[in-house]
């Protein structure tokens, strides 16, 4: 059983939005339904300026608030760490949307609060998530933490990494390189 | 999840009707229908992205006859497996509601068209062309296109005697190609992988994206390379730079002269390289030795010490250091663009980085075979270039291979042009002064070959002949090279991935129909498949192999070398003094030239522009996916420096009225710290005014609205940033 995690280096992101649209194509989403958000913020004063760009998507938390509040068990966690939603069980109450501290969920065409799926069906076949493979700056690295050959060990263990809102103890599966901007 | 093809729909419908028996009409088991659709086989077809002139290699995933998605081809030197947002969007344009679905004929002056058959279109256009050529001569025919890898028109023009193949380059980068050709014998490209210091001035690879360039720049940065970005705007590339240095727009030439002066006066330049491979060094120095870094600083606003520091950093790492040759950024923008480009060549030559790892290299190339000629009829003598490009007494220094596209209305008025063909080109939106460009409709015959209802088709065309979407056709192969260093040329092409959903045709079929109706039999006596085979034959590549791999790399031919360099110039050296300039009575070497216009008053700004990373200039505003990003990011806003905005009482999102010498328009403002106070910045994307492109229509404004159609006397470009605008709050 794999143990999927993602490493994101926001210092490499230049904000092209390819991740967003590659994901939309992969999952046949409508233009306004988007699982990849780039949060941008300008810092500093002219001429000493920086622009922080943080790619945000479902963090696939090991202690997922969205899963806890789901009244029907529609949101579930697989053994490989991926958090998914079973659309057949979803009653559209949107508790998960409110509970998610990362604002990762969006209502899709069928009325289901969907989100990044870590491209579950594709990674099972050895493929790379669409947001990872399309990115020219190689901002994201996805892989199996149980694979000793994975570069993720080096990136997560030996680099200065942070997680989003660690105070909430959600235990996210996405690790971010510490920002060097601003 | 993927929609279902008509064929499988009918198959299922037939099965369902058999089961329930007629005559209750068509009953469909939608569940079975959906199950079959889900199980539909996915095919992968290689193609080349049509989002910009990089032609990135893509794999097209097709399911149930519909486009599912595209992915980058890992071999292709421009994509290296990655595709930008616009690439994904342009693929989806195959389902764009703004497509022209069959040939159209104008019926009035109110932009109303009547759908006609291809046969009627060919007959009417072919016969009108014939009559006009017989009455006025073939040299009254102009073919206007984006330029690049299309070639079919040339064969027809050779027969009728027209030399007027005109590209969009004067609105884009003609100063660059012209000057590099004159001084270095052709274009050279940066080797990101081995550079230690990279200086980008007016070149934003993260906005005007080449995915492989960004991949290699970010990888080089991870290995310790230093990136310096000089740009009036904190552009997307600046986000990963070690340093962003804002410069007064229009003064990059002064900055470059300051760098060159430091390299020479501090004895930091590569004297061996200059002695062996440079012609005109002394002449350059004689005319520029007073132009110190201090003088440069007064003009460009970058402190003299910073200019010296950059020059020293480049010299220290040379030859593993370069000033990127650039692209659109400065090469069609200012009265001093030609001299600016010349200094780019000179600085790199002073660093001695030509043909050196981490420096600059020419593009590797190859040649294709051709199908046997099938036309043996008469060929008319070619008349003069109507736009005056390369013509003595007009624009002798402009490259005829590029032309002067912004001049067409004037040429029609003078009777020099009677027939205008546009191929995948939209000057009403991409060239200056749209109201002036609208006069193109006054030509005797205007034909637009374009896939969607762009402004040029809607406002000027007498006939619209819709070309199909790039995913709907197989094309003759392309050499993949240039713009970024790669040691080997590559070969790739587009293979048909989808059946057309409209009555549109490939250009080859359109040209076959037109020339036949004109009365030329068998000018293109081959299919595109036969042409492809003939092209690849001499390279020992089969069509099947190319289809399987999508992109094939040839043997490396451009590798670092230390001696025996030759340049394709008159002297065989890099010429700091341009012979063609001297011949026309100009000084051969570049010296300081001020910008044409300067903002002076409290509410005056220079209007500058640039490419937004998720749009391809003006050609993607009707794409729902890309416009969704625009909406979320307030992408149509005009950027203004916060201190200037405060002076004028302007806050984020406020409407302002922007007035230039030719027009006045309203736009919302983005207040930022990331812009030089002297200018405002517009993305080059918006201002769609074709009402048939509903998503883009009326969204934002375009810099071309504000600039008059001018022609630079040396290289023919539009001087697209020689524009002062007055800005007042409100107006909407």
Tell whether B130 is covered by a domain: no
Which A residues in the span 26-45 are in contact with B, Cβ-Cβ below 8 Å?
Answer: 26-28, 31-32, 34, 40, 42, 44-45
Place of tokens 């046969």: B119
B71, B85, B642: residue with CB nearest A21: B85
Stretch B569-598: mean pLDDT = 98
Q: Is the pLDDT reported for residue B484 higher than 70?
A: yes
Residues of A in contact with B627 (CB under 8 A): 31
The alpha carbon of residue A63 is apart from the nearest alpha carbon of chain B, in Å, by 30
Give the number of other CB atoms < 10 A from CB of residue B220.
Answer: 20
Higher pLDDT, B21 or A162: A162
Q: Is the pLDDT reported for residue B710 higher than 50?
A: yes
Residues of B in contact with A44 (CB under 8 A): 673
Per the CB < 8 Å rule, is B85 touching A47? no
Separation of alpha carbons B557 and A79, rounded Å: 51
Mean pLDDT of chain B: 95
Among candidate residues B327, B323, B394, the one with its CA nearest the CA of residue B360: B323
B23 cis-preceded (ω within 30 degrees of 0): yes
Predicted confidence at residue A98, as pLDDT, reads 97
Stretch B524-535: mean pLDDT = 96
Which phi and psi angles does A158 have, rounded to 5°?
-105, -5
Separation of alpha carbons B277 and B271, rounded Å: 10
Would you place residue B15 in the very low, low, confident or very high pLDDT band (cuts 50, 70, 90)?
A: very low
Among candidate residues B587, B705, B717, the one with its CA nearest the CA of residue B657: B705
Stretch B68-78: mean pLDDT = 98
Tell whether B113 is covered by a domain: no
Separation of alpha carbons B42 and A174, rounded Å: 31
Place of tokens 């046949």: A28
Would you place residue B32 in the very low, low, confident or very high pLDDT band (cuts 50, 70, 90)?
A: confident
Residues of A in contact with B632 (CB under 8 A): 34
Give the number of other CB atoms < 10 A from CB of residue B410.
Answer: 16
Per the CB < 8 Å rule, is A25 touching B82? no
End-of-domain residue from the set B362, B377, B398: B362
Per the CB < 8 Å rule, is A13 touching B215? no
Would you place residue B508 in the very low, low, confident or very high pLDDT band (cuts 50, 70, 90)?
A: very high
Would you place residue A122 in the very low, low, confident or very high pLDDT band (cuts 50, 70, 90)?
A: very high
Q: Touching check for A13 and chain B: CB below 8 Å?
A: yes
Per the CB < 8 Å rule, is B246 touching A47? yes
Per the CB < 8 Å rule, is B85 touching A17? yes
Per the CB < 8 Å rule, is B613 touching A14? yes
Tell me the pLDDT tens digit for each residue of B232-288: 999 999 999 999 999 999 999 999 999 999 999 999 999 999 999 999 999 999 999
Whether the Cβ atoms of residue B525 and residue B593 lie closer than 8 Å to each other: no
Would you place residue B4 in the very low, low, confident or very high pLDDT band (cuts 50, 70, 90)?
A: very low
Tell whether B248 is covered by a domain: yes
Stretch B221-233: mean pLDDT = 97
End-of-domain residue from the set B306, B340, B362: B362
End-of-domain residue from the set B346, B362, B378: B362
Tell whether B500 is covered by a domain: no
Place of tokens 């040429």: B411
Predicted confidence at residue B204, as pLDDT, reads 98
Which tokens belong to A24? 């939309």
Sheet containing B197-201: which strands, arranged edge to edge?
B243-245, B226-230, B197-201, B321-323
Greatest CA separation for chain B: 95
Q: How many residues does chain B have?
A: 732
Per the CB < 8 Å rule, is B672 touching A42? yes
Whether the Cβ atoms of residue B688 and residue B618 lie closer than 8 Å to each other: yes
Predicted confidence at residue A181, as pLDDT, reads 84
Which phi and psi angles does B245 have, rounded to 5°?
-120, 105
Tell whether B611 is covered by a domain: yes
Predicted confidence at residue A160, as pLDDT, reads 87
Tell me the pLDDT tens digit for each residue of B651-684: 999 999 999 999 999 999 999 999 999 999 999 9
Contacts of B99 (CB under 8 A, 6+ apart): B93, B451, B452, B453, B466, B469, B502, B504
Stretch B719-732: mean pLDDT = 96
CATH number at residue B321: 3.40.228.10
What ipTM was reported for this prediction? 0.97
Separation of alpha carbons B655 and B652, rounded Å: 9
Residues of B in contact with A13 (CB under 8 A): 239
Tell whether B55 is covered by a domain: no
* % of chain B with per-residue pLDDT over 90: 92
The alpha carbon of residue A69 is apart from the nearest alpha carbon of chain B, in Å, by 28
What is the residue range of B259's domain? 188-362
Q: Touching check for A181 and chain B: CB below 8 Å?
A: yes
CATH number at residue B708: 2.40.40.20
Per the CB < 8 Å rule, is A50 touching B239? yes
Q: Touching check for A116 and chain B: CB below 8 Å?
A: no
Torsion of CA B556, B561, B565, B568, to 10 degrees: 30
Tell me the pLDDT tens digit for each residue of B435-453: 999 999 999 999 999 999 9
Stretch B373-391: mean pLDDT = 93
Separation of alpha carbons B437 and A22, rounded Å: 37
Separation of alpha carbons B542 and B220, rounded Å: 36
A14, A22, A31: residue with CB nearest B240: A14
Tell whether B410 is covered by a domain: no
Separation of alpha carbons B562 and B353, rounded Å: 10
Predicted confidence at residue B17, as pLDDT, reads 44
Separation of alpha carbons B49 and B47, rounded Å: 7
Predicted confidence at residue B27, as pLDDT, reads 67
The alpha carbon of residue A169 is apart from the nearest alpha carbon of chain B, in Å, by 30
Mutate to test the interface with B, among A9, A13, A18, A155 (most CBs of B within 10 A): A18
Residues of A in contact with B89 (CB under 8 A): 21
| Burial classification of residue B290, based on how many CB atoms lie within 10 Å of its CB (0-12 exposed, 13-18 middle, 19 or more buried) | exposed
Mutate to test the interface with A, among B34, B61, B88 (most CBs of A within 10 A): B88
Stretch B610-625: mean pLDDT = 96
pTM of the model: 0.95
Contacts of B282 (CB under 8 A, 6+ apart): none
Predicted confidence at residue B8, as pLDDT, reads 43
Predicted confidence at residue A157, as pLDDT, reads 86
Residues of B in contact with A12 (CB under 8 A): 218, 240
Q: Count the domains in chain B.
A: 3
Predicted confidence at residue A158, as pLDDT, reads 79
Stretch B541-560: mean pLDDT = 98
A11, A13, A49: residue with CB nearest B674: A49
* % of chain B with per-residue pLDDT over 70: 96
C-alpha distance from residue B167 to each of B55, B431, B513 (Å): 17, 11, 23
Which phi and psi angles does B570 have, rounded to 5°?
-60, -40
Tell whether B305 is covered by a domain: yes
Tell me the pLDDT tens digit for each residue of B174-208: 999 999 999 999 999 999 999 999 999 999 999 99
Strands A4-8 and A37-45: unpaired
Predicted confidence at residue B299, as pLDDT, reads 98
| Burial classification of residue B382, based on how many CB atoms lie within 10 Å of its CB (0-12 exposed, 13-18 middle, 19 or more buried) | middle
Predicted confidence at residue B24, as pLDDT, reads 52
Residues of A in contact with B68 (CB under 8 A): 25, 28
Predicted confidence at residue B20, as pLDDT, reads 47
Per the CB < 8 Å rule, is B85 touching A16? yes
Q: Touching check for A126 and chain B: CB below 8 Å?
A: no
């Amino acid at each position: 059983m794999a143990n999927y995690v993602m490493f994101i280096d926001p210092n490499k992101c230049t904000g092209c939005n390819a991740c967003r649209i590659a994901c939309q194509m992969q999952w046949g989403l409508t233009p306004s339904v988007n699982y990849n958000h780039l949060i941008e913020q300008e810092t500093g004063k002219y001429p000493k300026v920086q622009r922080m760009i943080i790619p945000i998507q479902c963090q696939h938390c090991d202690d997922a608030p969205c899963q806890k509040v789901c009244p029907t068990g529609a949101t579930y966690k697989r053994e490989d760490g991926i958090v998914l939603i079973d659309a057949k069980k979803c009653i559209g109450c949107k508790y998960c949307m409110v509970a998610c501290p990362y604002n990762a969920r969006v209502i899709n065409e069928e009325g289901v609060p969907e989100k990044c799926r870590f491209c579950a069906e594709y990674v099972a076949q050895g493929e790379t998530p669409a947001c990872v493979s399309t990115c020219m700056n190689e901002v994201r690295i996805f892989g199996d933490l149980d694979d000793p050959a994975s570069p993720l060990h080096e990136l997560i263990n030996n680099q200065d990494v942070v997680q989003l809102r660690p105070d909430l103890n959600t235990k996210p599966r996405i690790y971010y390189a510490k920002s060097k901007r601003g | 999840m993927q929609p279902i093809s008509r064929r499988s729909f009918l198959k299922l419908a037939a099965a369902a009707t058999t089961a329930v028996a007629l005559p209750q009409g068509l009953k469909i088991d939608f569940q079975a229908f959906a199950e079959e659709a889900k199980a539909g086989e996915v095919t992968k077809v290689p193609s080349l992205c049509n989002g910009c002139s990089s032609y990135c290699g893509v794999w097209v995933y097709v399911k149930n006859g519909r486009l599912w998605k595209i992915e980058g081809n890992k071999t292709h030197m421009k994509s290296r497996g990655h595709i930008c947002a616009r690439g994904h969007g342009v693929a989806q344009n195959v389902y764009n509601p703004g497509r022209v679905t069959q040939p159209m004929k104008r019926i009035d002056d109110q932009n109303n068209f009547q759908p006609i058959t291809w046969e009627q279109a060919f007959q009417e256009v072919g016969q009108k062309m014939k009559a006009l050529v017989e009455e006025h001569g073939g040299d009254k025919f102009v073919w206007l296109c984006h330029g690049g890898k299309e070639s079919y028109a040339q064969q027809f023009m050779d027969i009728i005697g027209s030399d007027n193949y005109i590209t969009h380059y004067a609105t884009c980068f003609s100063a660059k190609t012209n000057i590099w050709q004159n001084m270095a014998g052709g274009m050279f490209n940066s080797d990101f992988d081995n550079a230690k210091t990279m200086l980008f001035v007016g070149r934003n690879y993260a906005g005007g994206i080449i995915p492989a360039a960004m991949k290699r720049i970010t990888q080089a940065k991870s290995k310790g390379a230093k990136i310096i970005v000089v740009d009036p705007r904190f552009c997307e590339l600046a986000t990963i730079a070690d340093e962003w240095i804002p410069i007064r727009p229009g003064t990059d030439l002064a900055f470059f002269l300051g760098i060159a002066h430091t390299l020479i006066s501090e004895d930091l330049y590569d004297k061996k390289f200059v002695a062996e491979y440079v012609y005109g060094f002394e002449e350059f120095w004689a005319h520029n030795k007073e132009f110190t870094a201090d003088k440069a600083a007064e003009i460009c606003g970058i402190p003299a010490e910073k200019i010296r520091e950059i020059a020293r950093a480049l010299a220290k790492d040379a030859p593993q250091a370069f000033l990127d040759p650039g692209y659109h950024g400065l090469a069609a923008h200012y009265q001093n663009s030609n001299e600016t480009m010349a200094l780019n060549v000179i600085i790199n030559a002073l660093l001695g980085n030509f043909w050196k790892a981490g420096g600059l290299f020419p593009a590797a190339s190859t040649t294709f075979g051709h199908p046997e000629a099938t036309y043996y009829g008469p060929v008319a003598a070619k008349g003069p270039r109507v736009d005056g490009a390369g013509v003595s007494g007009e624009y002798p220094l402009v490259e005829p291979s590029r032309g002067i596209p912004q001049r067409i209305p004037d040429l029609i008025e003078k009777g020099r042009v009677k027939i205008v063909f546009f191929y995948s080109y939209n000057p009403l939106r991409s060239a200056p002064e749209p109201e002036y460009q609208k006069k193109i409709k006054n030509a005797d015959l205007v034909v637009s070959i374009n896939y969607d209802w762009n402004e040029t088709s809607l406002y000027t065309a007498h006939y619209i002949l819709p070309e199909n979407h790039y995913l709907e056709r197989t094309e003759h192969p392309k050499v993949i090279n240039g713009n970024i260093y790669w040691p080997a040329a590559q070969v790739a092409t587009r293979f048909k991935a989808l059946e057309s959903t409209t009555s549109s045709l490939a250009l080859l079929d359109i040209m076959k129909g037109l020339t036949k109706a004109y009365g030329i039999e068998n000018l293109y006596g081959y299919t595109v498949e036969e042409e492809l085979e003939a092209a690849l034959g001499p390279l020992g590549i089969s069509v099947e192999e190319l289809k399987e791999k999508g992109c094939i790399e040839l043997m490396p031919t451009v590798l670092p070398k230390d001696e025996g360099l030759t340049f394709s110039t008159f002297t065989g050296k890099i010429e700091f003094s341009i012979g063609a300039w001297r011949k026309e009575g100009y000084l051969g070497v570049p010296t300081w030239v001020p910008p044409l216009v300067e903002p002076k008053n409290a509410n005056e700004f220079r209007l500058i522009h640039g490419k937004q990373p998720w749009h391809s200039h003006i050609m993607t505003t009707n794409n729902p996916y890309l416009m969704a990003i625009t909406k979320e990011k307030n992408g149509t806003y005009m950027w203004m420096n916060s201190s200037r905005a405060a002076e004028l009482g302007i806050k984020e999102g406020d409407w302002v009225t922007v007035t230039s010498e030719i027009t006045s328009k309203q736009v919302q403002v983005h207040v930022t710290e990331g812009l030089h106070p002297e200018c405002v910045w517009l993305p080059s994307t918006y201002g769609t005014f074709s009402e048939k492109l509903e998503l883009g229509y009326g969204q934002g404004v375009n810099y071309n609205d504000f600039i008059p159609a001018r022609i630079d006397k040396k290289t023919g470009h539009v001087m697209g940033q020689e524009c002062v605008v007055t800005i007042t709050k409100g107006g909407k």
